Amino acid sequence: MKPLSEQCSEHQKKSAGEMPSEETRTAPGNGVTENASPTRESPGQQNGIVSSPDVSSPVSQPPSSTPGPPAQPPRDQWGGKYEFLLSCIGYCVGLGNVWRFPYLCYRNGGGVFLIPYFIMLFFTGMPLFLMELSLGQYGAAGPITVWKCCPLLKGIGIGMLCVSTLVCLYYNVIIAWTFYYLGSSFQSPLPWSCDALHNIPICRNKTNITQSPSEVFWNEKVLGVVNSKGLHDPGPVRWPLALCLLAAWVVIFLCMLKGIRSSGKVVYVTATFPYFVLLVLIIRGATLEGSLNGVTFYLTPNWAHLANAQVWNDAASQIFYSLGIGVGGLLSMASYNKFDNNVIRDTIIITIGNCGTSFFAGFAIFSILGHMAWRKGVPVGQVADSGPGLAFVAYPEALALLPGSVFWSILFFLMLFMLGVDTLFGNMEGICTAVLDEFPQLRSNLKHKTLFLALLCFSFYLLGLLLITDGGIYWFTLIDSFSTSFGLIIITLFMCIGISFFYGVNQFCQDIVDMICRCPPWCTKLLLYFKACWVVFTPFLLTFILTYIFIEMYRTPLRYGTYVYPTWGKALGVCMGAFCCLQILIWAIVAVSKESGTLKDRFQKSIRPLNSWRVNNINTTSQEQHVEPQQVEGPFTVNLTEADFTAMNWEAISEA
């Protein structure tokens, strides 16, 4: 690989001169383009210099204006690099950091779990994260349109869109639950505490207690799951939750109304507030009796767990769950970056910051759970839980034991709301960007764009009503278990293989170098590490994870509490995951069928990037060097165009 400065110089020269006029395909890995129809250059167009067709008299004639192709509506850009960083951090730092990582950490050997966790981060999380950011930023396009770089793999973008749709469908239900708890937190005493009058009989009957007050509130008041027999019996819609879900979608609609110009400002609050709350909870937890037992339980290492494949699978699944890889949100947000943004720097900051937040949140969770175990006189393991059980049962019960419980409860659920909204911003941005790129007329018409966003949010609201029925938690668990399961792993595996071997890993690294010309030399050295991951380590680890998922899915029944899902329910979940990843095969067949020639010729043509893949690169350079045509008075008048000034720049560079 050439030194970075030489590559940047060559890139600037190429960008200034390469302005093809027709849709062509570029062979990956080299600079040879295959024109759809060859054109003959006129003498005045050779060497990239466009001369005036005639030399006029002293009275110059105005240049003829011929209508060109319709211009694409301009894409928005982030107001600053901090908006992008905060949006990505808010997207990655979600509910999984608070309610999933601490539980996985103590269940899989305490501090020992950090070893497989960071190995999976460095060999799968970081490389795939950088791949998504680079694809979006270089192509300046969403999850579907960006696959102009390899039309054969357009189905990856469609699959990302399907996964993101399923995630948005159930994720906002969590925000609706948070709204419900947030509203209930303004009551004193808290309705799930033993101080509430209706909970006194439950708390006094300590000999025959089956459920705590927080479990009763969660199962009966919020979910109503006690009124449902299972997946086949959803029951009526719970209208208090329906109002909360409507409020949640209204908030999302208003925050995304102006695209990244509005959501980019909201993240200054939503991405930073959870850190403030976690810090306050850690300080408060450290002052409580028994908190040290909770922290010890959280971090005590058990080295025997390293030999368990389940530990490594949990580490990998947490990386995917937390970083939001393969859903299209990262790719879409990166598409609004400036072309020369340093994606390697952003990848390191966001991924390390996300994992550090997960570890940091564990202290806030287990210090207070340790105090709860001390108050009850039971081991910490009996009060620890994961997922909704932690966020809406165990932790609220622990908060109810603190002095000033109303204040701490409001603060906690406000933090959960911020975490959920930020993550949903990224998923919704992935869907909106994909559609707006495919139908650019929506982007230029604010009225049509607003109508599209309103219909999208309302459609999600109507579909989400199934998840807030009496048996809605069964459907919620089904979608949650399979939407980001094997289908997501297959999508990311094909993305990694397609970029590495079809588009060309060397060409992809060169594209990254083109974008980060001002990066220090360590960026180039770090690219060698990422190249090795994309070609060898990441595909291998993804294959291992996929194999383990299939084995576990076959031998382990799906459960919610004591309810075991029927075979048809599990089959429905498998169909959801299969539908997402089958888009890769379907759209690959479509791409091959559109080409001509033998099957081998069709395949080779379908993996060559379209020339419009490099439009963002060319447009960026041309905007920086744009000079309006001028007229120079003399014996003869010559109309100077932008190409003449570009040629002058070439001469200046060559002389330098």
Residues annotated as binding site for Na(+)?
90, 93, 97, 322, 354, 419, 422
Say if CB 267 and CB 425 are below 8 A apart: yes
Rounded Cα distance, 630 and 648, in Å: 15
Say if CB 82 and CB 342 are below 8 A apart: no
Rounded Cα distance, 4 and 13, in Å: 14
Rounded Cα distance, 86 and 43, in Å: 52
Bridge partners for 630 per DSSP:
640
Cα-based distances in Å from 209 to 28, 140, 398 = 67, 58, 18
Say if CB 395 and CB 365 are below 8 A apart: yes
- Of 455, 94, 432, whose CA–CA distance to 263 is shortest? 432
What is the DSSP secondary structure assignment for residue 565, as one 8-state letter? P
Instruction: Determine which helix (DSSP H) or strand (DSSP E) holds 34, and give its type and residue range.
Output: strand 33-35
3-state secondary structure 102-167: HHHHHHCCHHHHHHHHHHHHHHHHHHHHHHHHHHHHHHCCCCCHHHHHCHHHHHHHHHHHHHHHHH
Rounded Cα distance, 51 and 639, in Å: 8
Q: What are the tokens at 278? A: 């976690």
CB under 8 Å to 199, separation ≥6 — which residues?
Answer: 191, 192, 193, 213, 216
Annotated binding residues? 90, 93, 97, 322, 354, 419, 422
